[in-house]
Amino acid sequence: MKNFKLIILGILANFLQCKAQQVYPLNTFMENIPQGGYVKDLNNELAPFIGVYKANYQGNQVILYITKVVNKPEKSINKEYYMDSLVIKYVVKNSAGVILQDTQNNSSKIDFYSIGTMPQFNAVVLLYSGTNCGVGWGTIYFRKINSNQIYWDYRPNDTILDQQNCPGNQDIKIYLPVTKDLIFTKQ
């Protein structure tokens, strides 16, 4: 009987220590998200972008695989939280069908995911970590044209490379289309 009381007391203590995860809508300012908070897609703003999309640019075919990840862990400088996000994997092929870059298995550690939406423009803002040594890191915007097409606007930032921050003979080419208003079509 004594063991039973201890078990019940332990369960009760555990229950009282648990706090419900605080939920916030997409586009909540970073300062307003507490440690462990959850930025949730309450209005289903991300769903229209999910799917496989293709475009051709300067002789290359680009295929985007867009999925929604619920409760994706995020880190900022001073806190950790969770966020519903679009995660993009992609393949870039040249005109001969040779794969130039493929992030589907993510062995390359390239991150490409949404960080917010702009509902008034039917758009989503994405962060791209870049390739080797962060080459091409920047912001990409998707804007929904209709149920089957999105505009692409890629704005890469500059990276200064030297032997200290990027040793060896690295591939420093940006394979994603650095352009605005490229149309991707849903497959």
What does each of the 187 residues of the chain score in pLDDT, given as a tens digit?
Answer: 555 444 454 444 444 344 577 999 999 988 899 999 999 999 999 999 999 999 999 999 999 999 999 999 998 888 999 999 999 999 999 999 999 999 998 666 789 999 999 999 999 999 999 887 888 999 999 999 999 999 999 999 977 776 677 777 667 788 999 999 999 999 9
H/E run at residue 122: none
pTM for the predicted model, two decimal places: 0.84
| CA 151/CA 16 separation, integer angstroms | 49
Question: In the chain, what are the domain boundaries?
Answer: 23-186
Other Cβ atoms closer than 10 A to 39: 25
CA atoms within 13 A on the CB side of 5: 2
Counts of helices then strands in the chain (DSSP H, E)? 1, 11
